[in-house]
Chains A and B, each alone.
Chain A
Amino acid sequence: MTLIRHELKQAWKALLIWTLAIGSFIVICMVVYPEMKSQMESINSLFSSMGSFSSAFGLDSLDYGSLKGFYGVECGEILGIGGALFAALLGIGALAKEEKNGTAEFLLTHPQSRAEIVTAKLISVLVQIVILNVAVWLMAITSTAAIGEAIPWKEFTLLHFAYFLLQVEIACVCFGVSAFLWKGGVGIGLGLAIALYSMGIIANLTSAVDFLKYITPFGYCDGSAIINKCALDSTKLLIGLAFTAAGIVLAYWKYSKKDIR
């Protein structure tokens, strides 16, 4: 508990900034929605007829003119990329930062097993992701109510839940990588997040690389599929959970026998 509390105390400022940044972007989009809605007729036909660009962002199968359609795209871009970057940075720094900042000797010469340290750090990463997602979800719901639209509870919540799982997956994979690092790996984390995001876009563009949807967590976060079917793709989800578990196992395995620098 001491270590979890310590981790969260160290992290709360960054968490607050990320939450506000992602949350306020979504709020801004919701606030401009009524304005856009009035001009939506023309926009909608334009957006859905831009060929591959439309399919890349799911504009062809989502009705951009409806709140759900608008939100599926907006939320996808903002919470998707923002959350992925946040989760990647969180995961990649979790274990490596102790050695990078020279605090590993302090931490690891207190009576705790390596496994206890990994557990505490993993929990604090997950707690931060939960806090960010609950806060952003609340901001989205509140702002929807504020513009006088009916709240599509099920669709919104499912979409947010999918992005929550995406962040957990990316954070856990980065967490596993983090156990191997001793210099901090901001570049690796950001690179991985952006690569996974791009994979999702590319897979939407051409069905030739459809398999990418099974690799990247953006595969099960496809806003148009979630909003239209109101369900998550269980195969992709299971693969995602497997990656999540692999990251966690990797972290325990490596960190428990790591030579600390």
Chain B
Amino acid sequence: MADNPHAPEIPGFTETATLVKPRPEEGPKDRTMVLNMGPQHPSTHGVLRVVLEIDGETVVKLVPDIGYLHTGIEKTCEAKFWQQVVPLTDRIDYLCPMTNNLCYCLAGEKLLQLEIPARAQWMRVLLNELTRLNSHLVWLGTHAMDIGALTVFLYTFREREEILRIFEHVSGQRMMTSYFRIGGLALEPPLDFFSSVQSLVKILPEKIDEYENLLTGNPIFINRLKGVGYLSAEDAISLGVTGPPLRASGVDWDLRRDMPYTSYEKFQFKVPVSNDGDVWARYLVRLQEMRESVKICQQALDGMPEGSIKADAPHVVLPDREKMKTQMESLIYHFKIVTEGFQVPAGEVYQAVESPRGEMGYYAVSDGTAKPYRVHMRNPSFATLQALETMCVGRLIADVVAVIGSIDIVLGEIDR
């Protein structure tokens, strides 16, 4: 591969495949071979390419190759108005659009120093926990399917469909919701929204029991997961791992509890932690998290405050449709926001939230104009992928599949 006559001659050019080489000079006994896994491989959850050096079936070296989904979202943000960036944030991680919306809106609100009404904040918490359940249901179904337990997928997608129906009901879209705005929510939730969430929240605990009945006692599932993909707490911290993999390695850290945002400090929930650090621990931690999310949803439904869903900031928040028909100022503000955006005072902020995959952070820089000067996303999957080699070396190829499933990566988020 290194002496490929067709390789372009560019200084600093390294083909990823050349980083992993078979070593025939070590004799036929120690001979290793290179295996290319992906980018189109069903268990890589997207377009992840992994180049493996294997000795028999044991992984000796592992190099992830990413960038197949790079769409330049950060560059696109710089050409949009502040409010036009919200739909772009959905596309970063298609499994937790609301979390992305929330993180971006919080960053914008911090720059503008806006005060958000309680009802909007509680709605954000409720929808974020539903998003976490949605994402964890997809993870559980696909992870079990990778291991060979095909049935679970059908069960989890049944409940996920219900959550997506709620999203469609509240925002008009199943996946690319774009429901949050800088300054609050897009719309008041429809009348039967809370009752439909309530009926879902009521059945979810027994559904989670059902998944556990299928998996937690299953000896094949346990054997495939226990002791596989070990990651120590020190390695997890030094490699930038966050979220459930970090908590499964014994680090008790959850941004919702430790650095609360959007009124999470008003909710009671436990942060599940395990000290085992393997794929099995990550499975248990995520299942516990789903149960806690259900509890948070219930608390949000019980205590949902009344009031406005938008901040009192007419130069930032679009006015109500009804007011536009009767009040001249509303019409003018609407016209100004839509045509020339709103100006955000110069400065920089970093806002982090706990996404289903770990710490999601938005770093937003404003130069005082109506367009962001720079928006950077710190995505949990991107950092967690760095730990893949540590978790896989010395294990079998089949374990690589289990480990990739257990860190729950979304490639759209890695490549942006």
Do A and B bind? no
